[in-house]
């Protein structure tokens, strides 16, 4: 049996300060949504799990966004591991990763797809 993807409206894009993250609940899960604005104005939205796998705290939305070797990352505010916003992998420890959620912007609104 197949079910249709369920997209959840989270907020307007302009409600997220550029180069910061916010936390939202999508289904039963806390997600971290980041609005990344690169030099030159290129903008992207990324969504990962808000749960830091190393500390067990739901804090990734409060992390600092950066760039490591061309990969956009967020630094966990607890132990400072860097998680790639596109893949969820931890740069410093290959045994750690976070879930990445599909996200899209429609008419200025951020929508996140719930995982199955």
In a domain, 2, yes or no: no
In a domain, 1, yes or no: no
In a domain, 71, yes or no: yes
Count: domains in the chain: 1
In a domain, 85, yes or no: yes
Residues in Cβ contact with 113 at an 8 Å cutoff, skipping those fewer than 6 apart:
5, 6, 7, 8, 101, 102, 103
The pLDDT value given to residue 8: 95
By residue range, what is the domain housing residue 25?
7-113
The pLDDT value given to residue 5: 73
In a domain, 24, yes or no: yes
pTM of the full structure: 0.92
Digitized pLDDT (tens) for each residue of the chain, 116 residues in all: 455 679 999 999 999 999 999 999 999 999 999 999 998 989 999 999 999 999 999 999 999 999 999 999 999 999 999 999 999 999 999 999 999 999 999 999 999 998 75
In a domain, 76, yes or no: yes
In a domain, 22, yes or no: yes
DSSP per-residue letters across the chain: ------EEEEEEGGGSPTTEEEEEEETTEEEEEEEEE-TTS-EEEEEEESB-TTT--B-GGGSEEEEETTEEEEE-TTT--EEETTT-BBSS-TT-B--B--EEEETTEEEEEPP-
The pLDDT value given to residue 114: 87
The pLDDT value given to residue 3: 56
CATH number for the domain including 17? Answer: 2.102.10.10
């Amino acid at each position: 049996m197949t079910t249709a993807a369920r997209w959840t409206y989270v907020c307007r894009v302009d409600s997220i300060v550029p180069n910061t993250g916010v936390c939202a609940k999508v289904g039963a899960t806390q997600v971290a949504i980041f609005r990344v604005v690169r030099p030159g104005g290129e903008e992207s939205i990324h969504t990962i799990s808000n749960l830091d796998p190393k500390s067990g705290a739901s804090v990734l939305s409060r992390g600092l966004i950066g760039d490591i070797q061309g990969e956009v990352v967020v630094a966990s505010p607890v132990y400072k591991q860097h998680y790639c916003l596109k893949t969820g992998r931890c740069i410093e420890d290959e045994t750690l990763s976070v879930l990445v959620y599909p996200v899209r912007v429609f008419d200025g609104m951020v929508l996140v797809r719930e995982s199955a």
